[in-house]
Structure formats: structure tokens, C-alpha cells
Amino acid sequence: MIPQTQSERTRALCALAPVIPVLVIDDAAHAERLAESLVAGGLPVLEVTLRTEAALAAIKAMAGIAGGHVGAGTVLTREQVYRAKDAGASFAVSPGATETIIRACEDASLPLLPGAVTASEVMQANEYGYDMLKFFPASTSGGAPALKALSAPLPHVTFCPTGGVTPQNALDYLSQPNVICVGSSWVAPGKAVNEGDWAGIEARAREASQLSAG
Ligand SMILES: O=C(O)C(=O)C[C@H](O)[C@H](O)COP(=O)(O)O
């Protein structure tokens, strides 16, 4: 078997469902139930942002959920890459694409979804071997028309737009041929998680899972 590159591993994860819920978890006690609800609703790929104290404990609690793939988001430093890996993360997401983060994820054998929005940023990521990228912040970086424009000179690059993606505009993104999936907080917003609204989260996940990409 031909070994997959890091970016191919990331693309395979991104292709599992049209939406990656971006999760901001304040209390790790909610993590397992949250992951179960999302996976049951048809969204197996989950991004836990490292923006809260509870994030690593939440990743640890979610990593064993059957059928789930839990990644660490907002990865900004080499140390965070290793902490995420130790907690059981199966991929990492970064808002940008620095050499430090790219090398750390390769050293840790952690598939990375690095961020890029301009042609130069995309080409820089390509030079490191990454052609499955997070397009962040999507809504303020030109939205779906910008992705369409990038596809002309850079047709081999695929994206996961994140930031300002809503149920109303998700299909604008997903209908672009260079979009594999979108990332968004809409499926499991912090309020719903803190209130333990698992039924609501599962219902939104089910709706999101019906959207189709590309
Ligand atoms: O922290 C990160 O790494 C991020 O990805 C930033 C935002 O959490 C996502 O972009 C979700 O944004 P919204 O769906 O607009 O709420």
C-alpha cells in the first residue's frame, strides 16, 4: 500500500461528513455525551478548540467514542501539538500554516488541517506538501466566491471553510468543487452544550449530515 501523506490523511477525515462541528467546551464532564450526540447524528469528525482550560480533558474523554474522530483545533504552538496528541487527538487544526506547526504535526504523526486564505498562503502550504486546507476566517476572506476564484489557478487544492459558516450559507460553500466540508459552531453552540441539550445537538447534526459537498 502506498503510504498516505499527512494532507491525504486529513482529506480522508474531512471527506467523512459535510460538516465538522467546531466545539468550545467549558466543562469536560459534557464531552463524552456531546461526542456521542454528534456521532449519533451522523457527524463523526469533531474539532475541539484548545481555547478553554477543559479542552485537553475533553479530547481525552471523547477520543474513545466509537466511530468518532476527535481533533484539536486552534493549535498554535509545538507544545499544543504534543499535548493534543497525548490527549488522544487524531488530527490537528490550525488557523494558519507556520513551519513550526507543520513540523510538529509531522514529528507527532498527527494529520494537520492548516489554514490559508490568500494565493500566496495556499502556495506556501503546498510547498510543505499540504493541499487540504482550512479557509479561515471564511466569511471575511471573500466567502464562497473567493474559493471559486482560487480554484482557477489552484485546482488541486481543497478546502474546509470555517468562520461564519451557517445553515443558511453552508450550501454556497459545499457546492464549490474545491470544498470537501465546512467547519462551524452552529451544530453545537456553547449554550446548547452547557445546557446539555443533547437532543437539539443531535437533531442539528442529523440535518447537517444531510448536506452534500462538491
Ligand atoms: O478556534 C478556532 O480554531 C476556530 O476555528 C475559530 C472558530 O471557532 C471557528 O471558525 C468557528 O467559527 P463559527 O462557526 O463562526 O463560530
Binding site membership of 94 for ligand 1 (Cβ less than 6 Å): no
Enumerate domains of the chain plus CATH numbers: 6-130+181-209 (3.20.20.70)
Please give the DSSP secondary-structure letter assigned to residue 5.
P
Please give the chain's pLDDT, 214 residues, in tens: 566 888 999 999 999 999 999 999 999 999 999 999 999 999 999 999 999 999 999 999 999 999 999 999 999 999 999 999 999 999 999 999 999 999 999 999 999 999 999 999 999 999 999 999 999 999 999 999 999 999 999 999 999 999 999 999 999 999 999 999 999 999 999 999 999 999 999 999 999 999 986 5
Q: How far is CA 199 from the centre of its chain?
A: 22
CB atoms within 10 A of CB 147: 23
CA of 129 to the centre of ligand 1 (A): 24
Binding site membership of 73 for ligand 1 (Cβ less than 6 Å): yes
Residues 6+ apart with CB under 8 A from 55: 25, 48, 49, 72
Which atom of ligand 1 has the smallest separation from the CA of 93? 3
Is the ipTM value over 0.85, yes or no? yes
Which atom of ligand 1 has the smallest separation from the CA of 137? 10
Global pTM value: 0.96
Residues identified as active-site: 47, 134
Give me 163's grid cell: 468562520
The residue type at 167: P
Q: Are 49 and 170 in contact (CB under 8 A)?
A: no
Please give the DSSP secondary-structure letter assigned to residue 96.
S
User: Distance (Å, rounded) from C-alpha 78 to C-alpha 119?
Assistant: 25
Residue owning the nearest CA to atom 7 of ligand 1 = 163
Q: How far is CA 101 from the centre of its chain?
A: 16
